[in-house]
Structure 1
Amino acid sequence: MPRLSNPKAGVRKVYKVLVVDDEDLVVEVLRELLSELPYTVVTTTDPAKAIQILKLWEIAVLVCDLNMPQIDGVEVMVRAREANPDIISIMVSGVADQESIVRAVNEGGVWKFLFKPWNSRQLTELVDEGVKRYMKTRGPSENLERLAHNVTAQLKDDDESGAAKRPAIRVIKRERKTAGLEKTADIGTSRYRLGDVLGAGGTGTVYKAEDLLMGMPVAIKVLSSRFAEDQIAIDLLKDEARIAMQLSHRHIVRLHNLEKVGGKYFLVMEYVEGRNLREILQIYGKLPTETVMQMAEVSADALAYAHRHGVIHRDLKPDNILLTEDGVLKIIDFGIAGLMHAGATQGPVMGTPMYMSPEQLAGKPLNERTDIFSFALILYELLTGRPPFEEPVDTAALRAARQPQIVGLPEPVARILRKAVAHDPNERWASVSEFASNFVTATSSAVYGR
């Protein structure tokens, strides 16, 4: 198996903090105060200019006054969230009524609220903590960047050497397909031009496409024709797609729209250049512990965000988690859970039974703990290189009756995973955040003694 190199050792990203206040003196004081921190501090007294800065630059922490002429602080924070959903916002104000505070929280997504005059040390520590919170979910992980670099380099080396490719590499090198479904899938709309096939499964075929109206690449999933004839499945899909389209998270591939042309339904999604974890496992076998820990934290943050918005994935597996070329994890296929559910309750089980929870295989009602079950099996496979079930399981019923064997790991780590894959959902961790936190703590302690 190839080894991971570190092409960016010693390189550290410098995060930006934006300060917005209409008083020159306040801006100068804050600039001087925050200059002690290892971040780039950008300041402005013009909220309109601040909005432009937020569009142009990646801002980790926004420190913003509430009461400003023409454009108030809440509006700036709303625009900040549109530009970067993960931004950490700190509201500073001399006077604020209850209604303003509620608006700041509900509309602006404010993280902390400080009243003037503020304590210098408290504000500095708060900004520092805010950047560190941002780094956990948004900041590029050195280990994930290294992994992405090595995957790309490995494929390039294989191409240049002309050596016989392993099956995994052949899977990764997707070939252009333009016959059959590709030619008929776009009949009736001139907005999208379909290109290469990116993947295919039980629910449909995914293409790289171009949105000719917006002039941007997108991914289009053309649903299997059998779903167009299943009104229950389509109704479920519409319900879940409406919610999934509202998800805006750095680590979730965005669902733009559900469309119908003639008798075909298709999902229009954000296009991401990357490799899925199944492909990466086929290259490396298993991944470094530190890398898996970071994947756990990032993925759990995305899943927790979706769960808070009432969206359950239902088909988590290595194939549905992508790593972009710059080391950003992205979870795909949010929004098609309605199809998975319809398939599980009305016909053959849809999805990948190896990673599905017992209650899902049995067609029972689901909650977020079904995702915890699947997520735990993925982490186990990333750490050990072994699938959750070593022997093939012929039917969903047999698979539902079996308990995954968690072996080959330090006992504290194995214990955390076993709780996550308990047969009874009520015996699992209460939330994906709780599970990931305990997993990372146990893994770090077992490996590094900390």
Structure 2
Amino acid sequence: MRIKFLAIIASFLFVSIAISSCLDSDDTVELSSDATVHAFGIDTVYGKYYKFTIDQLSREIYNQDSLPIGADTIIDRILIDTFTVSGWITSRDEMNINGDTIFNKADSVDLRKAVNNETGMKFKVHAPDGVTVNEYTLKIRMHKQDPDSLVWNLMSSPLYVPAPASGQKAVLFNNELWVFTQDAAYKTAIQPDENNKYPSDCNWTKEAYTSFPNNAQLSSLVTLSGDNGQKLYIVTTANTVYSSSNGSDWNEENRFGSDVQALIASFPNILTVITNNDVYTTKDDGVTKESGEFSGTNFPTENIYSTNFESNYQPQVMIVGKSGNDQSEQTVPWVSSNGSYWVPLNNTAYNVYCPKLANPVVMYYGENYYIFGSKEENKLDAIYTSVDGISWRKTQRKFLLDKDMTEITAPYSIVVNAPYIWVIFGGNGSTNAVWRGHLNKLMSAEVQ
């Protein structure tokens, strides 16, 4: 219960001081002028305590970790179980015409007025001397969106990429999103501006080719980052390699020969080359070459997607793809720490592996591994997740594809440019669509 009529309380305090003074007139009683909050805390929210910070300069009390979405149904009637001061606290109840009331920690409080509100809730801290008073503002931060949810947007796209007849492959190149088709390339800006704002749509620019191979395997396209910038590489159906430094002008790389099946841009300056007989790595200087090997069988040689991450502070790369003679029922990731030696992450537990997908795409995103794909060709309808790259489960909630995406029948390619995931549909004459997704907890307030 809140105690009203502060004047009466103050008078009792004055009388008690006067009596003490009369009993021993030689002693001077000096009460503290401390009117600060020393500690603050509320009861648990979904079983968790949230730490509150007290800014004594601005006299603000706030939580650093935002409360989860939906917590307003809990804090509408919650206890402030810690409110440590030297004197006493008053608050103003808007429904009370008599003014401020003494705050009682035994009463539950409705804190919704303090949620995501710059005005917050006001509390007055009175020092024991009855004179010094400081006003504090309580501000409670709460997520407006579920931080673990994956949100998708269909991007509006002026100068839309025409539906390619044979297929397409999207890659990041020179801080732009490029979509390569057999006839031309299309690029759009996707980096934030000086105000940390990302483009809200896609403004495509067409790039004509010079000497682009007419037998290029678009799915083999990779971007290699090096000391001298980025470079594009692609494999042809004749098992030769072409490269480009600008996306438009292409030249054959004779140093690779005519036995190349696939390429992996595994690490900066390191290109993994898979041939019919072996694997080796080469640097962009065209000279350095180091033999490699597989620790297992059915190494991917088609439609390879890679993702980089760190394990025990050691850079690693993980890939998935299609093997020409793979009879396994699993999509098996392969990992390497140097681009030369590769190890499969096989799983013998039938209920915790990623099933064999037609065109799997792997990514390390938000501190988890994900594989996108479908058992059907030219479909995208499922996401599998793992914390270790070995045990996989299909996502059932929150981290999901938009239902409209799962209804599209078309070739697709996926690019991760954190915090965004880009999915580009198009090929085989199908209508193009560009989707952009993000995990809420990876988005800063500025980006949103």
Please tell me the TM-score bracket, short chain as reference: under 0.3
TM (normalized to structure 1)? 0.22
Larger radius of gyration: 2
Considering fraction of residues, name the structure with more helix: 1
TM (normalized to structure 2)? 0.22
